[in-house]
Amino acid sequence: MSFGVIYVAVILLLMLFALMREMLRPGLVLFTAVVLLLCAGIINPEEALKGFSNKGMITVALLYLVSEGVRKSGILEQIVFRMLPTKNVSITKTGLRFYPIVSFISAFFNNTPVVVIFAPMIKNWAKKMKLPPTKFLIPLSYATVIGGICTLIGTTTNLVLHGMLIQEHKDEMTAFEESAGQVKGILLQNNIDGMHMFELTKVGIFIALAGLIYLIFFSKYLLPDNRQSEEDTEDDKLTPEMNRYEILLSNRFPGLGKTLHTFDFYRHYGAHVRAIRRGGTIVSGDYMNTPLTHEDTLIVDAEEDFMKTWGDSRVFWMINRMGEYEPPLGHKKRWLAVVLLVLMIIGATVGELPIVTDHFKFLKLDMFFFACVTTIIMAWTKMFNPRKYTKFFSWDVLITIACAFAISAAMTKSGFADFVAGYIISLTDAVGGSSYGVYIILAALFLITNIFTELITNNAAAALAFPLALAVSEKLGVNPMPFVVCVCFAASSSFSTPIGYQTNLIVQGVGGYKFKDFARVGIPMNIIVFLVSVLLIPIFYHLV
């Protein structure tokens, strides 16, 4: 085993440990790993920085702005009001009407705003219908996840892997040209340059259907009944001019690590903190001396203008307990936002058809192109605040994605990816031959990626698993797309813990769930996605 393999393995282990212990934000942890790899000469400065100019990473950034424009249109709220029944209400009937639509929306829209908008609305609706909100909120999060895996833009993970494919294709093309045609990489051999809009739909639609059946008909038996929470028991403390809100602290919140005694929340935001909910339960005792974390939900009392002032803030995710406030966009702009989103999706889909690419060789009409055009139109029509557009980016996610490219390059250059790939391939012999070899390899790759996702973050997990997928396909001399698709599904399938996905943290705060609730409902969901993925990927994505 070479020095490079050992060094990269040590760096990856330290990186995983730091991510699990949350010593720093994921972006800084990955950037630290990149610097250490740079210092050892495993990667060069160009490789360390290439992720910051990658098309996939920039597309993710642009889609944050597109999502903000659509969110402010208020169309999503109108959809919810029409979806939720008012007569003959039951948990199963509501799921049949609600979850499929949520999954469909999430296939084309960022998951987090969908859950931020829908979670308080369905909670208040459930209370009015005298149904337990806890029967709906975790399924809401899961429905957005399984919807998001069906399309290229449904989740940042898919776009990250799409960008990695583009970068790897570019690197292989460069090597091919420099060697005067003597070297040809695995992506060039299989004519793969990224993924199309509905590349993942072939298997993703079956995952979504199986997941929805489970959520609609079976999850209610595993979900807890109502848990009484602080805001339910203390409404009598509110004066007529005050409202109660729930806010989930984000990574940008300036008071992280501080207590409410040292960080004056009222002076900063004009609201009184009544309680802190952590891990689904209200913090007991002297919560004012409890250090705040980005997983905390604060229950605050504030005047009506609190939502107008801080509703677009990214220091915390605002959840209006009453679920009511009028979006600022006018009627025409609301529908223009929807039209732009639809045109962006159709354009990116049609733009990659052979008949279009043959006629527009001077332009690459892909998702990046249409996301750029849509963002500019939304900015000039003021669908989002163009003077404060930078606050709509999740910078830590973008830095994590950019650094992931450098770490992936280090795993490939050092030989670490080949070493692990060889071990994965050897599993086929260990279990009795190669008749089911592809299923065994896909299962191993899925489990490795999924464990990383549950322990760290989905984008970091995808970054670690991508070079393994390519290395496996290169050693076998087969089409890499089945293995890359497997990584896509595994990296997005975070159901067993609340920490693996932002939407899980949001519903944990709103619903008062405990960690064990996610394990009880999420493990069967993980198994469903695992089985459907491993069984169907070889059918729809051929190895040769």
State yes or no: pLDDT of 264 exceeds 60: yes
State yes or no: pLDDT of 102 exceeds 90: yes
Per-residue CA distances from 423 to 419, 444, 463 (Å): 7, 10, 19
Which of 68-72, 274-278, 516-520 shows the highest mean pLDDT? 516-520
Per-residue CA distances from 421 to 2, 407, 474, 543 (Å): 16, 16, 9, 16
The amino acid present at 364, given as its one-letter code, is K
State yes or no: pLDDT of 325 exceeds 70: no
Confidence label for 324 from pLDDT (cuts 50, 70 and 90): very low
State yes or no: pLDDT of 229 exceeds 60: no
pLDDT of residue 466: 93
pLDDT of residue 247: 84
State yes or no: pLDDT of 10 exceeds 90: yes
pLDDT per residue as tens digits for the range 306-322? 876 776 677 787 665 44
DSSP state of 391: G
Q: What's the rounded Cα separation, in Å, for the pair 160 and 59?
A: 9
Residues 6+ apart with CB under 8 A from 53: none
Q: Residues 140-150: what's their mean pLDDT?
A: 95
pLDDT of residue 241: 64
Residues 6+ apart with CB under 8 A from 330: none
Q: Residues 150-156: what's their mean pLDDT?
A: 90
Confidence label for 435 from pLDDT (cuts 50, 70 and 90): low
Kindly report the average pLDDT of the chain as a whole number.
Answer: 85
Q: Residues 395-415: what's their mean pLDDT?
A: 88
pLDDT of residue 542: 85
The distance in angstroms from the start CA to the end CA of the chain is: 31
Confidence label for 495 from pLDDT (cuts 50, 70 and 90): very high
117 SS3 class: helix
Confidence label for 80 from pLDDT (cuts 50, 70 and 90): confident
Q: Residues 153-163: what's their mean pLDDT?
A: 90
Q: Residues 233-243: what's their mean pLDDT?
A: 58
Q: What's the rounded Cα separation, in Å, for the pair 170 and 113?
A: 33
Instruction: Choose between 383 and 489: higher pLDDT.
Output: 489
Query: Burial code of 46-67, b = ≥16 C-beta within 10 A, e = fewer?
Result: ebbbbbeebbbbbbbbbbbbbb
Instruction: Choose between 430 and 350: higher pLDDT.
Output: 350
Which of 53-57, 259-263, 537-541 shows the highest mean pLDDT? 537-541
pLDDT of residue 113: 79
pLDDT of residue 181: 66
Confidence label for 221 from pLDDT (cuts 50, 70 and 90): very high
State yes or no: pLDDT of 186 exceeds 50: yes
269 SS3 class: helix
Per-residue CA distances from 518 to 9, 134, 139, 505, 522 (Å): 31, 12, 10, 10, 5
Q: Residues 297-311: what's their mean pLDDT?
A: 79
Q: Residues of the chain with pLDDT > 90: what percent? A: 33
Angle between helices 156-178 and 55-71 (to 10 degrees): 160
Least confident stretch, 210-219, 237-246, 261-270, 274-283:
237-246
Q: Residues 459-465: what's their mean pLDDT?
A: 87
State yes or no: pLDDT of 326 exceeds 50: no
Q: Residues of the chain with pLDDT > 70: what percent? A: 91
pLDDT of residue 144: 95
Confidence label for 250 from pLDDT (cuts 50, 70 and 90): confident
Q: Tell the CATH superfamily of the 230-320 domain.
A: Regulator of K+ conductance, C-terminal domain (3.30.70.1450)
Check if the beta carbon of residue 265 is closer than 8 Å to that of residue 300. Answer: yes
Nearest to 29 by CA among 318, 295, 407, 365: 407
Check if the beta carbon of residue 408 is closer than 8 Å to that of residue 50. Answer: no
DSSP H/E element including 304: none
Q: Residues 121-146: what's their mean pLDDT?
A: 90
Residues 6+ apart with CB under 8 A from 29: 15, 18, 19, 23
Confidence label for 521 from pLDDT (cuts 50, 70 and 90): very high
Q: Residues 156-173: what's their mean pLDDT?
A: 88
Q: What angle do CA 311, 316, 319 make, to 5 degrees?
A: 55
Q: What's the rounded Cα separation, in Å, for the pair 274 and 255?
A: 16
pLDDT of residue 206: 97
pLDDT of residue 231: 47
pLDDT of residue 430: 61
pLDDT per residue as tens digits for the range 327-372? 456 778 888 988 998 899 899 888 877 788 777 777 888 889 999 9
Confidence label for 56 from pLDDT (cuts 50, 70 and 90): confident
Per-residue CA distances from 7 to 39, 41, 416 (Å): 11, 11, 9
pLDDT of residue 285: 73
Least confident stretch, 86-100, 269-283, 371-385, 526-540:
269-283
State yes or no: pLDDT of 205 exceeds 60: yes
